[in-house]
Structure formats: structure tokens, C-alpha cells
């Protein structure tokens, strides 16, 4: 809740852009890298294996990305979905972006694309009445297994 309710502008002023910082470092959330974007696990996932495709360029919208970055964004997204299919066999995906704070972007000044794998029956009474998500694997394990597939392709 602290992360969700934080003053986003003040947080970025004090700490800098977390996507820009992460773009130049390796950690357990990073799955793979392209020329213009990188792929990472969402630290606050909506669902198991929720991924983010993040441009290295700090900009708020796809309108500000050049053609090479847009191409890398989509190719990386496709490779990410392929890796997720091999590892977890999801039935479907939600792929999208929240552009702007009013659209729900928690980091509105740095565009990123969400890839959320979906399975039949994944939501039920826990999500409906318990305000809780059930995620059956750890971020560390998911990251390790996805990196193995990513680098094996």
C-alpha cells in the first residue's frame, strides 16, 4: 500500500526513475535485454509471471519512441510470450500499457508494456472476497526459469 499511495512525483525526485536505474543494472527481476528495451518481472505482479517490457529511453508514451525502439518493444514482447508459453502454458495474455497517471500508470513518466499471462479459473473466491491474489511461484524461481528459456532461444 505504501508503494501505491506514494506521491509519485516526489518519489521520483527523491529516488530517480526506477526503470532508468534498473536499465543499467542486473538483478533477479531482469529476464533479458534487447538493444532498446529490457524485460523484467513486475515486482508487484497482478498475476504469476507478470512481465514488463521497458525501453531504456525515459519517456512517458510510445509517441516519443523511435522506430527501432518500437520494433524491439514488439519483438521482445513476442519472445517473452513465447518463453511464458514454454514455461507455464498460459491460455491467454493481457498485453497493454497505462499511459499517464490518470490511466493507472504507477510510474507515469517512463512508458512500459505489461504482459500478464492468464489461465482458466485463475480467479475465484480468494480474489473476489479476500482482496488477495494467489501466485503459486516465487519471483526468484520464475525469474530463474524464464532467464534459462530466454537465453536458450
Catalytic residues: 112
Q: Are 99 and 60 in contact (CB under 8 A)?
A: yes
Burial class (CB in 10 A: 0-12, 13-18, 19+), 15: exposed
Distance CA 34, CA 72 (A): 7
Taking alpha carbons only, the member of 44, 31, 65 closest to residue 142 is: 31
Distance CA 38, CA 56 (A): 7
Burial class (CB in 10 A: 0-12, 13-18, 19+), 109: middle
- Laid out side by side, the sheet with 51-55 consists of 30-33, 37-41, 51-55, 113-118, 92-96
Amino acid at each position: 500500500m505504501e508503494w501505491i499511495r506514494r506521491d509519485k512525483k516526489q518519489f521520483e525526485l527523491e529516488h530517480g526513475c526506477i526503470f532508468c536505474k534498473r536499465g543499467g543494472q542486473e538483478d533477479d527481476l531482469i529476464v533479458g535485454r534487447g538493444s532498446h528495451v529490457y524485460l523484467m518481472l513486475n515486482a508487484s505482479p497482478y498475476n504469476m509471471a507478470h512481465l514488463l517490457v521497458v525501453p531504456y529511453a525515459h519517456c512517458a508514451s510510445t509517441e516519443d519512441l523511435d522506430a527501432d525502439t518500437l520494433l524491439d518493444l514488439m519483438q521482445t514482447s513476442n519472445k517473452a510470450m513465447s518463453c511464458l508459453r514454454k514455461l507455464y502454458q498460459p491460455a491467454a495474455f493481457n498485453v497493454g500499457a497505462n499511459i499517464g497517471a490518470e490511466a493507472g500508470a504507477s510510474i507515469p513518466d517512463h512508458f512500459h508494456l505489461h504482459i500478464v499471462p492468464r489461465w482458466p479459473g485463475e480467479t475465484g473466491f480468494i480474489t473476489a472476497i479476500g482482496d488477495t491474489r494467489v501466485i503459486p511461484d516465487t519471483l526468484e524461481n520464475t525469474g530463474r526459469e524464464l532467464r534459462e528459456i530466454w537465453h536458450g532461444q
